[in-house]
C-alpha cells in the first residue's frame, strides 16, 4: 500500500480497506495494492504479470475486477468517513474496453459527476439503504483509457 499521496487522516482507513481486500481469496489473487485515496478518488495498482492474457496484454476480466473494487472502495471509504456503517454491494455495471493494455493495471474510481453524495447519505439515513453511481477507469501509460466503467452501488445498513 503506497500511502505517499493519501489525504491526511485516511491511513488507518486505507490499512483497514487493504486488510479487508486481502482477506478475500479472489481479490488476494489479483495482487493489487492501494496507490492512494485523496478523499474523492481511489487508485489501485496490479502487476500485468498476474493478469496477462494469451495476447500478452491485460485480461479484460481483470480490468473489470479492478474497476469494480476501486469503486466499491470509494463508497466504503467515504461512508466510513461520514460515520456510516454499511455493507456495500455493486448493483449494476457497464464496462467499455477501449484499448489493449500492455502495462501494469492502474485503476481509479470516484463518485460520478451526475451523482449527489449528500443526497445518497441522507437517503441511507432515512431508509437504511441507498444507491449511488460511480465512474472508474483503467489508464494506459500515456494517460489514455484502456477501459471504463459506470456502475451503481448500493449501501445497506449493517446487521
51: left (phi over 0), alpha (psi -120 to 50) or beta: alpha
pTM for this prediction: 0.90
pLDDT one-digit tens code per residue, 33-58? 999 999 999 999 999 999 999 999 99
Q: Grid coordinates representing 142?
A: 500515456
Query: Which CATH number is 11-157 given?
Result: 3.10.129.10
Task: Work out the end-to-end distance of the chain between its first and last CA atoms, rounded to an integer number of angstroms.
Answer: 29
pLDDT of residue 10: 66
Asked if the model's pLDDT at residue 17 lies above 50, the reply is: yes
pLDDT one-digit tens code per residue, 67-120? 999 999 999 999 999 999 999 999 999 999 999 999 999 999 999 999 999 999
Asked if the model's pLDDT at residue 7 lies above 60, the reply is: no
Residues whose CB falls within 8 Å of the CB of residue 127, separated by 6 or more in sequence, listed in order: none
Backbone φ, ψ for residue 123 (5° rounding): -60, -40
Q: Are the C-beta atoms of 147 and 95 separated by less than 8 Å?
A: yes
- H-state helical runs in the chain: 11-22, 25-28, 60-81, 117-127
Nearest-angstrom CA–CA distance, 101 and 72: 23
Amino acid at each position: 500500500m503506497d500511502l505517499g499521496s493519501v489525504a491526511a487522516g485516511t491511513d488507518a482507513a486505507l490499512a483497514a480497506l487493504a486488510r479487508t481486500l486481502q482477506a478475500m481469496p479472489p481479490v488476494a489473487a489479483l495482487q493489487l495494492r492501494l496507490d492512494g485515496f485523496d478523499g474523492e478518488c481511489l487508485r489501485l495498482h496490479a502487476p500485468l504479470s498476474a493478469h496477462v492474457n494469451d495476447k500478452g496484454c491485460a485480461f479484460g476480466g481483470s480490468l473489470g475486477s479492478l474497476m469494480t473494487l476501486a469503486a466499491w472502495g470509494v463508497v466504503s471509504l467515504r461512508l466510513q468517513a461520514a460515520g456510516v456503517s454499511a455493507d456495500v454491494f455493486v448493483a449494476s455495471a457497464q464496462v467499455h474496453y477501449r484499448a489493449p493494455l500492455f502495462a501494469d493495471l492502474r485503476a481509479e474510481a470516484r463518485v460520478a459527476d451526475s451523482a449527489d453524495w449528500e443526497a445518497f447519505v441522507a437517503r441511507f439515513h432515512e431508509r437504511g439503504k441507498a444507491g449511488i453511481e460511480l465512474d472508474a477507469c483503467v489508464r494506459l501509460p500515456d494517460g489514455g483509457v484502456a477501459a471504463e466503467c459506470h456502475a451503481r452501488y448500493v449501501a445497506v445498513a449493517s446487521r
